[in-house]
Structure 1
Amino acid sequence: MEEAAKGKIPFFVLDRPNPMGGEIVEGPMLDPDKTSFVAYFPIPVRYGLTIGELAQFFNSENHIGADLHVIPMRNWHRNYFFESTGIKWVPPSPALRTTKGSILYPGIEILQASGVSVGRGTQTPFEEFGAPWIDGEAVAAALDERHLPGLRFESKSFIPIGGPHSGERCSGVSVRVTDRFVVRSMRLGLEIAEILQRLYPKDFDTDKLVGLLGNAGTVQQIKDGVPPEKIVASWSDALASFDQVRRKYYLYK
């Protein structure tokens, strides 16, 4: 879109559903100094916009000035998860094979840089996590004790084909979604990080969470042992401000 703006070329976006719906926002805001190819602009990890709405947001808030044209969808509503559309699931990325994986992705993916497999190359990537040094039964039990809404946990052994520990047998946890509407994936990621840091401080590299989480303050809170619910609460003011801005770019109710 930036290059189109430079060349004065009209830029068209054929809009499509956000697999996670368009109502919920969660996670910390991206630190301005952490922008990269995979983290373009300071927004939260889960931003609750379609690609067309996001294009409008970027074009205006980042002052791109492109001649942007968004072709909207018909009959899509903000409370729709992908299954509500009746459309066949086509993976938006080779690793996002299932709709459940897309729901869990924001919180599970951040673990990868810290030495944890997220199931890449298996049939259920982002629906499981593990490492050779993890006791899957202990971690699953610890997570179940948290009573996280819409989630259940079971120990699982798997061999990832890609990412950390590729080709190695990993002991880990399978994440089962029982109610997608109440799942908060970023809270899940914090809970997992807290448990792994506490149980395996020599193996779990908390500092490297910042690469995908994009917020140094949140990583420091995890290192300092701040309870996950308090970390989530610390995001509320920034998320409220972002929510007010993003609403200007809504194309759907």
Structure 2
Amino acid sequence: MNVKVYKNIYVNKSFVFEITAIWRIFIIAACFFSININCHSNTQGDYQKDEHTKFRLGNEVLLERSGEYKDKRIGVLTNQTGILSDGTHIIDAMLGKGLNVVKIFSPEHGIRGDEIYAETDKTGLPVISLYNGKVKPSKNDLKDVDIIVYDIQDVGARFYTYTSTLYYIIEAAIENDKQLIVCDRPMIINSGYTGGFLLEPRLESFVGKIPTPAAYGMTCGELALFLNSEVYSGAANIEIIIMDNYNRTNDYNSLGLTWVKPSPSMFYPSTAVCYIATCLLEGTNVSEGRGTDRPFEYFGAPWVNSELTAGELNSYNFEGVMFEPVTFTPSEKISAYPPKFFNKLCNGVYIKVTDKNKFDAVKCGTAILIALYKNYPEFRFNKDNFIDKLAGTDRLRKLISGGSPLDEIVNSYNEELQSFRQIRSKYLLY
């Protein structure tokens, strides 16, 4: 296994040396006799602390080491989220450092997140799309590449396709004997949250490729370590560039980062928090709020009773969330396909998350499906059973169709979830 984890380590010397009894006596005596000892530890130490405890993204740490890659031909897998803390795009920053970026690989939604799959970037570099029929670079694509750099912000959901792109770029790196560098990024949702059914291999697809529950609770760097070990038996030559001064308790909104939509309908950090709950509705005939200003935070349909549904969901007394009746009209066509109930008034519910660290998105999403199935004869799972691919199993659909209560459904995946958590713990970097 060739795995490397790079982390800058700053040491505040005032906290790491031990003072012997003799030195303590000397210092006390010196202070007592007003010996002029140079003690600027407060001023200088505070400055160093401010400088050395500053949060930095993985890509910023990578750029600090740019001299190590001057003689390498670099391919970068990124999109509009691949930016530094100041908003500079990783491609521009690497070129500015004189690095030899030879091509760009883009995930779903394109290099700039505008659904435009151009063959060249505004920098003039060739762009190879890894979506819509081609999921990983070919041998020919990588023949002039020494290192692949991955820098994409995901949202912590298995069915978000960037996780599948990470899966396949690890595979391509192994097949073509290339080094892969993953620039780590913070979690948008609660970084300790895991939930849902584990993916069953027979239901693998591009919206479900990684062998995890729906919410897997890992940064992209941690996920890369997990995949390399658990799927590829450590075969990849992979390096994770750890963020400086980040821990699992950091709230994404407190890091001072410029918000860039990871995908066209991922409007806000709050959208990502609800996404794991309501993306399952993409496998039904209920709107998941696409085409509104609150996609995935709203859900509904013309035939839904807003007050009834919100009241039933509030009766569960879930922690960290409230449900409010709402009406909305999906009127914005963001992608090539119009949203459900385009330009039609929908009655529904607004998912108002009050504490994302207590919010159980999968449990909430399951309760929503139960309420819709039970109360509305118009409700349908899509005929292709797409919800099975999203859920990673057909058990969720069958349990809901069979009238199983919420606790029974949650208990049905808890054992496998606990097993996953034990495995996951081996790959946590923060």
Q: What TM-score results when the alignment is normalised by the length of structure 2?
A: 0.56
Report if the CA contact (8 A) 2:299-2:350 is conserved: yes
Report if the CA contact (8 A) 1:143-1:191 is conserved: yes
Structure 1 residue 211: deviation in Å?
Answer: 2.9
Read off the aligned partner of 1:223 and give its amino acid letter. S
Residue in structure 2 matching 1:87, options 257, 260, 266:
257
2:264 is paired with a residue of what secondary structure? coil
Q: Residue 209 of structure 1 corresponds to which residue in structure 2? A: 387
Read off the aligned partner of 1:11 and give its amino acid letter. L
1:20 is paired with a residue of what secondary structure? coil
Q: Residue 213 of structure 2 corresponds to which residue in structure 1? A: 44
Structure 1 residue 42: deviation in Å?
Answer: 2.0
State the number of aligned residues: 252
CA shift digits 1:142-198 (9 cap, x unpaired): 112221111111111112234322232211111111122111011111111111001
Q: Could you tell which deviates more after superposition, 219-228 or 184-193?
A: 219-228
1:162-241 map, 5 Å: 162-205=338-381, 207-241=385-419
Distance 1:196 1:244 in 2: 34
Q: Residue 251 of structure 1 corresponds to which residue in structure 2? A: 429
Read off the aligned partner of 2:219 and give its amino acid letter. T
Which structure has the higher relative contact order (CA within 8 Å, separation 6+)? Answer: 1
Structure 1 residue 203: deviation in Å?
Answer: 2.4
Q: Could you tell which deviates more after superposition, 37-46 or 162-171?
A: 162-171
Residue in structure 2 matching 1:55, options 224, 229, 232:
224
Read off the aligned partner of 1:191 and give its amino acid letter. A
Structure 1 residue 230: deviation in Å?
Answer: 2.0
1:16-165 map, 5 Å: 16-63=185-232, 65-160=235-330, 161=332, 162-165=338-341
2:287 is paired with a residue of what secondary structure? coil
Structure 1 residue 22: deviation in Å?
Answer: 2.2
> Are the structure 2 counterparts of residues 212 and 163 from structure 1 closer, same or farther at C-alpha, using a change threshold of 3 Å?
farther
Read off the aligned partner of 2:294 and give its amino acid letter. T
Report if the CA contact (8 A) 2:321-2:359 is conserved: yes
Read off the aligned partner of 1:55 and give its amino acid letter. A
Structure 1 residue 90: deviation in Å?
Answer: 1.8
Structure 1 residue 208: deviation in Å?
Answer: 4.5
Distance 1:118 1:90 in 2: 21
Gaps of 5+ in 2: 1-169, 333-337
Q: Could you tell which deviates more after superposition, 84-93 or 27-36?
A: 84-93
Read off the aligned partner of 2:296 and give its amino acid letter. F
Distance 1:29 1:84 in 2: 31
Structure 1 residue 81: deviation in Å?
Answer: 3.2
Read off the aligned partner of 2:252 and give its amino acid letter. F
Distance 1:90 1:173 in 2: 26
Distance 1:20 1:81 in 2: 8
Seq. identity, %: 35
CA shift digits 1:195-247 (9 cap, x unpaired): 10011133232755313112112221111111112211221211111111111
Q: Could you tell which deviates more after superposition, 199-208 or 96-105?
A: 199-208
Report if the CA contact (8 A) 1:110-1:212 is conserved: yes
Stretches of 4+ moved more than 3 A in 1?
none
Distance 1:201 1:80 in 2: 44
Read off the aligned partner of 2:342 and give its amino acid letter. S
Structure 1 residue 41: deviation in Å?
Answer: 2.2
Read off the aligned partner of 1:202 and give its amino acid letter. E
Does residue 13 of the first structure (1) align with residue 182 of the second (2)? yes
Distance 1:117 1:155 in 2: 15
Read off the aligned partner of 1:110 and give its amino acid letter. L
Structure 1 residue 83: deviation in Å?
Answer: 1.5
CA shift digits 1:7-35 (9 cap, x unpaired): 11111111001111321211111111111
Distance 2:405 2:171 in 1: 40
Distance 1:238 1:81 in 2: 28
